[in-house]
Amino acid sequence: MTLRTITVPDSIPFPARQLPGVLQNLLGMPASQSHWLIENGCVRINERLCRKLHQRVEPGDQIEVDWIPMPVVVRTEARSASRPGPIEFLHDDPHLCVVVKPPNLLTVPTMYREGQTLVSKVERRLRDKDEQAKIFCVHRLDRDVSGVLVLAKTLQVAELLREQFAARKPDRQYIAIVAGVPQKGSGTIRSYLATDANLNRYSVKGPVNENAPESREGAVGKGKGGGRDKSGNREGGEYTGELAITHYKLRHDWNETALVEVRLETGRRNQIRVHLAEMGHPILGDPRYRPDLAAHRAWPYKRIALHAESLGFTHPITGEQVRFLAPWPQEFRDFQRAVSKTGGAKGPAGAKGPNGSRGKSSKKDTFEP
């Protein structure tokens, strides 16, 4: 880390005095790096921390920059082509906030120290009103998944919420568009999830699989099993599985695809994706679990067709039972219209419609909330 101090000269005209532009002009850095340094707390103006990209400076201002290298992230062409959308706030009080996470955005940073995450973005927004604001992660959604998340504003509240999740108390409902149509209208998938050397998840017979990797049943994913994974799930030739329970219900039958409602009893990494893929119905757009079946002509989007639709829990401070609903992603609505035009939609009688109502199927069924 190198500390650089610069003084804003009189020669910079007023329209060009926004902080990112000043850093680019005086330090010769690209726009992406100037934005990253500002948003990650590496810039001070007159000894005061500044995280605002729209901040204007004046001639004579002293700017200090902690010149640290940007995190190195390996990106694919598909990933770089997609950018996360805005973050919608469903609820905000002194103890917690509930937001709708857009796809193509990490919940928290990985080992690559990404600066653009849901937690960092929410924290920066709250600091516009309170410079001391902090955000604590309670649960997560995969990068390419959208939907409802609750975030705590204090460590105490975070621990109370985490205790609820550990006790399986919150009501978590998802929707997914899957390849094919499940034969049963509803069911429960119960298995133990293990992790292989490539961080793929798969089901094993019990908490400890005595014959790994040969006894992997229904394993899906692109990687091969074997070896010791980063979480230490293989010890002494055995894989340790985590109990995972998923409840599903068919909402719409679209011949080649289906809309499935999913409720989580446990919350393991990739749980829904693995369980549905092992059932033979992977989620559309999933690049990891059965990608051969997950591709569909009406789903060209760089995201997974999985959305956290609602979240219910007990407010850890007030004791009130609260529930929050996330609006339907535009990609889901566009997909429904696409399959309807090709004659693929025939929603089952009595199935739950896209707005949560029940009734006979008809061509008027839409994704409008």
Give residue 48's Cα distance to chain centre. Answer: 33
* Nearest residue to 172 via CA among 329, 303, 357, 324: 324
Give the C-alpha separation, 87 to 307, whole Å: 14
- Between these two residues, 130 and 177, which has the higher pLDDT value? 177
The whole-angstrom distance between residue 18's C-alpha and the CA centroid of its chain comes to 32
The pLDDT value recorded for residue 2 is: 56
Long-range contacts of range 345-350, CB-CB < 8 Å, 24 or more positions apart?
345/252, 345/254, 345/255, 346/253, 346/254, 346/255, 347/251, 347/252, 347/253, 347/254, 348/185, 348/250, 348/252, 348/253
Domain locations in the chain?
Answer: 2-67
* pLDDT of the residue at 356: 38
- Give residue 341's pLDDT band: very low, low, confident or very high (50, 70, 90): confident
Does the domain made of 2-67 have the CATH classification 3.10.290.10? yes
Contact by Cβ (8 Å): 87, 107: no
Mean residue pLDDT across the chain: 80
pTM (predicted TM-score)? 0.66
**pLDDT exceeds cutoff 80 at 94:** yes
The answer to whether residue 102 scores a pLDDT higher than 50 is yes
pLDDT at 237: 43
Look at residue 351 and tell me whether its pLDDT is greater than 50: no
Lowest mean pLDDT among 106-115, 172-181, 286-295: 106-115
For range 14-40, the mean pLDDT? 80
Rounded CA gap, 214 and 196, in Å? 12
CB atoms within 10 A of CB 91: 13
Q: Average pLDDT for residues 79-88, to the nearest whole number?
A: 66
Report CA Rg, the chain. Answer: 23
Angle separating helix axes 19-27 and 31-39, nearest 10 degrees: 120
Contact in structure between 125 and 52 (CB atoms under 8 Å)? no
